[in-house]
Chains A and B, each alone.
Chain A
Amino acid sequence: MSHHLFVLSPSDTPLYSLTHQSAKPVPSVTSPLASNLPTWSTSAFAGTLTALSGASSATQHTSGGAVRVGGGQDRHVIQMIANAGLDVIEEVMHREPTMYLKSVDKFNEWTVSAFITPGNTKFVLLHEGKNDEGIRAFFMEVWELYVKTMLNPFQTAHTVIRSGVFDSRVRASARKHL
Chain B
Amino acid sequence: MDTHAFASLAHVQILLIPVGLIPQASFDVYAEEIRSYESLKLGEIPTETKDGKAARFLPNPLATGNLHLSFPTHPPPRSHYALSLLRPSHFPLAVIGVATGSQSGSLTPLYSQFNTSLNDIFPGGGIYPLVKNCWLFEETEGTENPNCGDTLPGLIVVPRIKNRKLHVGTLLGDLCSQILAEFETLVQASENPLGNEYLNASLMPSLPPLSELPSPLSSLARSDPPPTITSFTSQPDVSRNSFTLSAAPALKRNTSTNVPNARQGTLAVQVQKKRLSTIGTSSSHARHFKMLGDFFLLAGRLEDAVIWYNEALQIFRSTPDYLWYACTLEGLATAAILEAWSVTQGLNSSATSIKEPWTEVSDKLQQAIILYAKTPAPDGEQIHSLLTLLYCECVLRQTRLLFAVWSSKGWGPLAFTTMLQSGPKPYIPPTLTSDDKDNWLNLERLSSVTGITRSSISAVLTQIHGPWLLHLGQRERISILEATASFYACLGYRRKEAYILREVLGCVMDLIVCGREEDGFSHPSGVPPTSGLGIQNTGQGSNWGALGIRLSESAAGNEGVLNLLKYICRILGINLELVGLVSDTCPDTHSQTLTLTDYDEDTEEELRESSGWPELQVGVVREAVAVAEALPDFPTVAQFALSSLKSLQGVLSPSDQYHLYSTASRALITARRRGDSRVVEYWSGRPIVSISIAPLPSIRIPMEKPRSIQHKVNDLKPLIQGIADPFLYNPRKARGKGQTIVVQNEVLEFVITLQNPYIFELELHELSLSTSGVRFDSKPLHIVIPANSLHQVVLCGSPAGSGTLTIRGCIVQAPGGQAREYILPLYTAEEEERLSRKRRAILSESGRSKSVGLGRYLWNMPARRTSTQGPESPFRFLECKVIRDQPLLRIRRTSVTHGALMLYDGEKSTIRLTLENVSNIPVDFLHFAFEDSTIEPAQKALTEGNLSVFDTYETEYRLLHNPVFSWDCEENKSIAPSQNLTVTLGCFGKVGCTNGTIHISYAHAEDPDLESPDAFYVRQVSYPLMVTVYHMLECTGMDLLQFPSYPECERRSQLNQRNDRLKDLRLEHDASWCLFSIEVRNTYGSPFDVSLLRMQDGESSTSSTTTIPPGSVSRLVIPIKKVLLSEVSLAIPIPTLSDRQFVVAQSSLSQREQQLQRELFWYREELFKSISGRWHETGGTRSGELSFRNQRMTLHMLEAFRLEVAHISLSIDSDQDDGRTLNGTRYYPNANEFLQLRARITNLMPYPIVFTLDYEVNPSEHLVHEGVLVDLPVGRLESGDSREIVSSLCFLACGRFEILVKARSFGSLESDNQVSRTHITAVVKENT
Contact = CB atoms under 8 A, between A and B. Distances in A.
Interface of A: 10-14, 31-38, 40-50, 52-55, 58-59, 75-76, 79-81, 83-84, 86-88, 90-92, 94-95, 104-109, 120, 156-158
Q: Indicate the member of B505, B506, B852 with the most A CB atoms within 10 Å.
A: B506
A76 B616 contact: yes
9 contacts: A12-B611, A33-B384, A33-B391, A36-B381, A54-B466, A79-B615, A95-B453, A108-B466, A158-B847
B470 A87 contact: no
Interface stretch (B42-50, B488-496, B1114-1122): B488-496
B725 interface: no
Given A48-B502, A90-B853, A33 B470 contact: no
B471 interface: yes
A58 B470 CA distance: 12
B1241 interface: no
Nearest to B615: A79
Nearest to B502: A52
Interface in B452-489: 453-455, 458-459, 462, 465-471, 488
Contacts of B495: 83-84, 86-87
Interface in B507-556: 507, 509-510, 513-514, 518
Q: Indicate the member of A12, A59, A90, A109 with the most B CB atoms within 10 Å.
A: A12
A84 B510 contact: no
Contact of A52 (B384, B499, B630, B846): B499
A48 B506 contact: yes
B376 interface: yes
A78 to B, nearest CB: 10
Interface string B562-596: 00000000001100000000000000000000000
Interface string B618-636: 0100010011001000000
Given A31-B466, A53-B469, A55-B470, A88 B503 contact: no
B1158 interface: no
Contacts of A37: 467-468, 470-471
Contacts of A95: 453
Contacts of A44: 513, 626
Given A48-B503, A91-B453, 11 more contacts: A13-B611, A13-B612, A38-B470, A38-B471, A48-B505, A80-B616, A84-B495, A88-B496, A105-B459, A106-B459, A157-B849
A22 to B, nearest CB: 23
Contacts, number: 174
A11 B503 contact: no
Contact of A83 (B465, B572, B852): B572
Contacts of A34: 466-468
B455 A88 contact: yes
| Interface residues of B, dominant DSSP | helix
A120 B852 CA distance: 9
B503 A52 contact: yes
Q: Indicate the member of A41, A75, A104 with the most B CB atoms within 10 Å.
A: A41
B615 A36 contact: no
Contact of A76 (B494, B498, B615, B630): B615
Contacts of A55: 467, 469-470
Given A13-B614, A14-B613, A33 B381 contact: no
B162 interface: no
Contact of B612 (A11, A41, A49, A50): A11
B835 to A, nearest CB: 24
Interface in B415-445: 444
A18 to B, nearest CB: 14
Contacts of A79: 613, 615-616, 619
Given A37-B471, A53-B466, A76-B619, A11 B611 contact: yes
A104 B375 CA distance: 28
A40 B470 contact: yes
Nearest to A48: B506
A13 B494 contact: no
B494 A90 contact: no
A45 B505 contact: yes
B502 A105 contact: no
B78 to A, nearest CB: 18
B374 interface: yes
B1069 to A, nearest CB: 101
B467 A53 contact: yes
Interface residues of B, number: 64
A35 B1141 CA distance: 105
Q: Indicate the member of A36, A50, A84, A94 with the most B CB atoms within 10 Å.
A: A84
A53 B503 contact: yes
A107 B465 contact: yes
Contacts of A53: 465-467, 469-470, 503
Contacts of B391: 33
Interface string B201-212: 000000000000
B991 interface: no
Nearest to A88: B455
Q: Indicate the member of A45, A76, A90, A120 with the most B CB atoms within 10 Å.
A: A45
A92 B846 CA distance: 26
B856 interface: yes
B462 A32 contact: no
Nearest to B384: A36
Contacts of B856: 11
B373 interface: yes
A92 to B, nearest CB: 6
B462 A105 contact: yes
Given A10-B849, A41-B514, A84 B499 contact: yes
B649 to A, nearest CB: 15
Contacts of B518: 42
B446 to A, nearest CB: 12
A106 B374 CA distance: 19
Nearest to B376: A32
A156 B847 contact: yes
Nearest to B477: A49
A97 to B, nearest CB: 15
A129 B467 CA distance: 18
A79 to B, nearest CB: 5
A108 to B, nearest CB: 6
Contacts of A86: 495, 853
B387 interface: yes
A33 B376 CA distance: 8
A31 B464 CA distance: 12
A43 B466 contact: no
A33 B465 contact: no
Contacts of B455: 88, 91-92, 104-105
Contacts of A83: 495, 499, 572, 613, 616
A33 B373 contact: yes
Contacts of A156: 847
Given A11-B611, A12-B612, A76-B615, A33 B453 contact: no
Closest 9 CB pairs of A and B: A11-B611, A49-B506, A55-B467, A45-B509, A33-B468, A87-B493, A10-B849, A48-B506, A32-B377
Contacts of A49: 469-470, 503, 506-507, 510
A17 to B, nearest CB: 9
B33 interface: no
A43 B469 CA distance: 17
B1101 interface: no
B196 interface: no
Contacts of B375: 32-33
Contact of A105 (B444, B458, B470, B623): B458
A46 B377 contact: no
Nearest to A103: B459
B859 to A, nearest CB: 15
B1001 interface: no
Contact of B510 (A45, A81, A106): A45
A13 to B, nearest CB: 6
A169 to B, nearest CB: 24
Contacts of B381: 36, 38
A48 B853 CA distance: 25
